[in-house]
Chains A and B, each alone.
Chain A
């Protein structure tokens, strides 16, 4: 038996083994954060065997909400005034809308990739992935906070936030991809294709809901703009 076959067999055996420590059906917020960060395999196991309670799912959504809210407040502190409230609200609404827009295509692409997951299981996975993004953003919050009071120009502040968001998304989407592989996805390219769509939609959403970081005379605009175009314009304005 070659190494690859052996590794694959061991991995399957590990997946089928009962969990050393089962996640309670009414797990605390800290237990859920712990599972997301330290024991993703156990987490996927619970989702795969439909052993993940509604209470825990709602708690995951709550974690995501709090994480995004806190990070949003820090983003809003760059401009102050109404942005203290508008930024966190826009961050929460934007992320939720992006997830809702991309959910149907995620469901179909997961099924096409060969995994046998129900819409509810995919919903939990997506929520947990967003919760992980929010947790990581919360971890990055002190860094963002320090930069907020050091940087003077809007494009540079935007760049810092972009780097922190992309860093968080890298880990959380990687987590999602690993979870799907563990749950039977055979074609990772389809999942990666969806991840690209998700990131582009999220970036476009940030432009749709502008201004999130800077301050304008309006709270929302109906003017249509592609996100790259918006970034270039912001750079030119700052020069």
Chain B
């Protein structure tokens, strides 16, 4: 019996999220008297795989096969399910990323498992198995009871502290033995965002709304983002107006993020906007209107003009 974690790699490297997943899985394994097996699919070098041991993986199943680079949902779910069966996994954990969300439901069906997506905590109970997740786009939480022998979870980023164990993992090659005909997704073009901090990975996010007045005023936010290694975001009208690319749009209909620190510059704080950012640990609002609803959700605020505040913040950050 084991706990299986699917550790996604990005161009052969693991991000903090993968280590967070393994730490989370290790905490569950401890409670269940089990051990953690990490599954890595794609082309990842052994020294990178070894890092998973330091967060509590006892074993790493390594599927080193470039065919999976097309992210074929059917093939990937077959591979994960066969690893889960080989390891007699009672809990299978994915990240709540595009890829995790795409595969976890399929794997749950294959394993006749119960699925809980977007979990934010360790299970509060193991028999019956009960775990908390976000609902109503962060406006509420619910405890979900899983009534199936196998549980599949997708885990929300930034919900669990990394725990370094100093351990090492046994690395084992694994081959799910899928024929070429299974890989039906034919990728014609891939565009990777490079050189910028990805919004969904960023620990600090700097976001601008209509109060920024126009795309020409973003230089200060970009400078702050560079200094803090932060991601850039915006409200929906800003991307609708074409001031910023739509990939930066956060909120209920855009990206849902949960950084440690979220700066809202000239954003009123509409409920649909908050739906995408309210799980941030600390929210800072800069708005000239003291009645702006964003101040009800923010932890720190300045009532003032963004154009006056931004240069001062940049100065302060440089002095830090």
Q: Do A and B bind each other?
A: no
Listed in ascending order, the chain A residues whose CB lies under 8 Å from chain B are none
